[in-house]
Structure 1
Amino acid sequence: RLDPATLERADLNAWTCREPGAWDVVTARMVLHYLDDLPALLREVRTALAPGGRFVLSVEHPVVTCAYDGDFHDGVPSEMRVRGYFDEGERACEWLGSSVRKVHRTVETYVRDLHEAGLALTGLSEGRPEPDNFRDPRTCEARRAVPMYLTIRAEKPA
């Protein structure tokens, strides 16, 4: 049996924890690459978590956010041009007919910022496509060409 969950929706650019230590799990799915001040948010997440609490985040993989150009076939990148990977900062990409602003960070920066906020890295996944998850092996093969997502799990020490 699962315990009841509480969902809090907030503007992460301005979010401050109102209940320190009250949360067992905090998630941020595909949103942190839009924020300018990631370290400030991570400090708030640490404040919000109970001892031993978990933070799970996912972002577009930094190989993608460094340069939004490459070869795509049916919406799947078969190749990305990695340029300026270590030059972190604002990037623009076209999405649904509009220019969208994102902030590129390296994997190293995500891990360092978590550590500096007092959160311990407990898991990291680049979303490796596995053949058993696809009906068509060619789709799996195409998706294995470029890592699209980075998922990180961190924990507030007990």
Structure 2
Amino acid sequence: MRYKGASVYDDNEFFKDYLKRRNRKESPNNIIEKPVLMELIGDVKEEKVLDLGCGDAIFGLELIKQGCDFYEGVEGSLNMVEKAISTLKNSNSKINHCSIETWNFPDEEYDKVVSRLAIHYIEELRPVFKQVYESLKINGQFIFSVQHPILTASVKSANNSSLRTDWIVDDYFHTGKRVEPWIDKEVIKYHRTIEEYFLLLKSAGFKIDEIRECQPRAENFQNNEEYIRRMRIPLFLLFSCTK
């Protein structure tokens, strides 16, 4: 079975295994992607933040602790929604059980829209970017991360379950659907070039302020060999944009 969007998280066994991997301290999401993401997000005090593909909302809880006035998440998985509601209980927040593509974005509502590693699951990105743009207040920011296009271009490396030391880069300019093995399941992602992401953002009206590839930082690694390995290829691509 091939899973599209957030549906894979409603497989209970996968959901349990994913949370165990995702929330471990040494996860690349935590030690490589997150430090750069937080730099780009900056101060959230007294701001209203929308999180697309919010997952278990642990990240949302962190934003609330940093002074975010109101946090709203959109999440397609019921398992994740239930976990997110539990995470954020008694906080000024709201979680919507809906896919990103079908959610009804309000106009000029948010100071920031963020998304962590969810955008590459969306097939038709142009209308989503346009709706994000309309949902932001004037000078509002859109900050998001995706799996780096060097990795989404070819799934041949992903078929190797061992600890990789080499990666295959192929079919880079053949954009579109990819089926990737992940925690013993097959998930559907959509490959885009860096240029395509850039042009889609521009066509939606955004000013692109920064593009980051999250070079690993030695101080975030307990294992120097792992740091050296992660320096070989980018895992993440981040954009910071302004309305």
TM-score by length of 1: 0.90
The answer to whether structure 1 residue 121 and structure 2 residue 208 are counterparts is yes
User: Could you report, residue by residue, the CA deviation over 1:107-127 in whole angstroms, capped at 9, with x for unpaired residues?
Assistant: 101111000000111111111
2:121 equivalent in structure 1: 34
- Kindly report structure 1 stretches of 4+ aligned residues shifted beyond 3 Å: 71-75
* Aligned CA-pair RMSD: 1.8
Would you say 1:5 and 2:70 are equivalent positions?
yes
Gaps of 5+ in 1: none
Aligned to 1:102: 189
Aligned length: 154
2:179 is matched with which residue?
A: 92
Deviations 1:66-117 (A, max 9, x none): 1122386864x42221110000000011011111000000010111100000
Q: 3-state DSSP class of the match of 1:52?
A: strand
Change (3 A) 1:141 1:73: farther
SS in 2 for 1:70: coil
- Counterpart position of 2:150: 63
Measure the CA separation in 1 of the matches of 2:185 and 2:150.
21
Distance in 2 between residues matched to 1:136 and 1:98, nearest whole Å: 29
Contact 1:78/1:143 (CA < 8 Å) preserved in 2?
Answer: no
Indicate the SS of the match to 1:80. Answer: coil
Higher relative contact order (CA 8 A, sep 6+): 1
CA distance in 2, matches of 1:69, 1:119: 34
Q: Which has the higher helix share?
A: 2
Cα distance in structure 2, aligned partners of 1:73 and 1:139: 17
The percent of aligned pairs where both chains have the same amino acid is 26
